[in-house]
Chains A and B, each alone.
Chain A
Amino acid sequence: MVTDFGVETIVLDLPPLVGALSRRLRDAGVETMPARAADLAHALALVKPISRRRLYWTARAVLVSDPAQVPVFDAVFWAIFGERRDDGE
C-alpha cells in the first residue's frame, strides 16, 4: 500500500523493536521516562499504516524532547530499523 506521502507499508514485529529503541537510546544518553514506552506503543496503534518513515516520526515525537537529541535518535533508530532513505521530506 502506498499512501499520500508516497510511503510503502512494511510489516514489523513492533513491541520488541520499540523496547530495543528505548533501551538503546538510554544507553546512548537520551533519557526517556518508562511511561514513554507505553505512550509509544499506544501511538503506534493509532498511527496506521506504519511505514518506516511513519514509525520514525511517531517514535521521534514521543521519545525526543530536544533538537540536540535528534542526531543520537537518528543514529539509534536507523541502526535498528535499517538504512535511511531520504525520499522526499
Chain B
Amino acid sequence: MYVAVKGGERAIDNAHAWLAEERRGDTAVAELSVAQIREQLSLAVSRVMAEGSLFDPDLAALAIKQARGDLIEAIFLIRAYRTTLPRIGNSRPIETESMACDRRISATFKDVPGGQVLGPTFDYTHRLLDFVLAADGEVPEAASVSADTGGVPHVTSFLNRDGLIQTEDPDDAPPPDLTRTPLEFPANRALRLQALARGDEGFVLSMAYSTQRGYGRNHPFVAELRVGRVAVEMDIPELGFAVEIGEITVTECETVNQFTGSKTEPPQFTRGYGLTFGHTERKAISMALVDRAMRWKELGEDNVGAPAQDEEFVLSHADNIQATGFLEHIKLPHYVDFQSELELVRKLRAEAAAANAPEAAE
C-alpha cells in the first residue's frame, strides 16, 4: 500500500525564513556585499567558477553568499543557473601561450625565458596566522618594476625542440561535450579533461596524491604552472569572422613525466595537462597528474589496477554535484521505503522464531 504524505509546507516556509536570518547572522555586524566576496574571497570565487563550470565572478560571489559559504552548495547554484542559459556558441581554443601572466613558474628549468614569476602566492609564507588582518590592517602597496614586453613561451616547447617529449599537435575539431551528451566509457581524452576541469578539487587532489604515493606512479615534474588572463574568441556567424568576446582568468599546469618507453612508444618525456577557470592551482596540478595517469592505454603502459588509472571510477565520482545529490537525497523522507524494510525484517524474525520454536519445546 502506498500512502502519499503531504504536509510540512508551513514548517518548510519557516525553515527557509530562518535560513535567511541565519545567513545574515548578527545584524550588529555589517552585511557582506557580493562585491566584497568577489574581491576578497577571490579564490573561493575561482573554485566555484571552475567546478560550477561557468566563468562569471559576480554570479559565483552571489552563489557563495546565498550558500552561506558552503562552496559545494554554491557550485550547485551555479550549475543550476548554467542550465538555464541558451548556448550561444563555442569559443575558439584559448591560446595560453599569449596569457598575460600574473604568475608563471617552472620546477624543471631555473632559467626559463620569461623568468620565474612568483605572483601573488601562498608559497614561501610561514603559515602563521596574521593577527593584523583581524585588526583591520592597511596593506602596503605591492612593489612594481617595469615589465618585459616579450612573450612567455611554454616551457614544454623547449623540450619539444629536442624531440625529448611527446608533441601536442593542434586540432580544432569540435570536441565532445559532456553537458550535451551523457558521459560514456571509454571516454576520450577531451572528455576526461572536461570532466576533470569541473571535478571536485578534493577528489581530484586525492586521486593525484594517490599516484604520488605509488598507486600508478608516473613521476611528474611541474614543467610549468601559469595563472593569468587570456582572451576568448568566438566565431560569429552573422559577421563571418571571429571576435574577442571577453577575457578570463585561467590556471594552466603542464607536467612532464618520466617514461622509460613501452612496446609502442620510445623512451621520452610524456605529458599531463591541467587547465581550470580562475586562480585554482592546486586543482590544475591535480588535474594534470590524473590526466597523465589515465593516459596509460595510449602510451602502452601496464594497468597496475591503481584507482587513478580507472577512468570509469575517477570520472564517475569526480563530480561533486552528482555525488552530493545522490548522497544528500538519503536524508529526505524515505518513510514508505523504510516501512517496507521494517515489514520485511519483522516477517523474517517471525519466520525465524517459528522455525526455532519446536527446538525450544524439546
| A and B together in one complex | no
Give A residues with C-beta under 8 Å from B. none
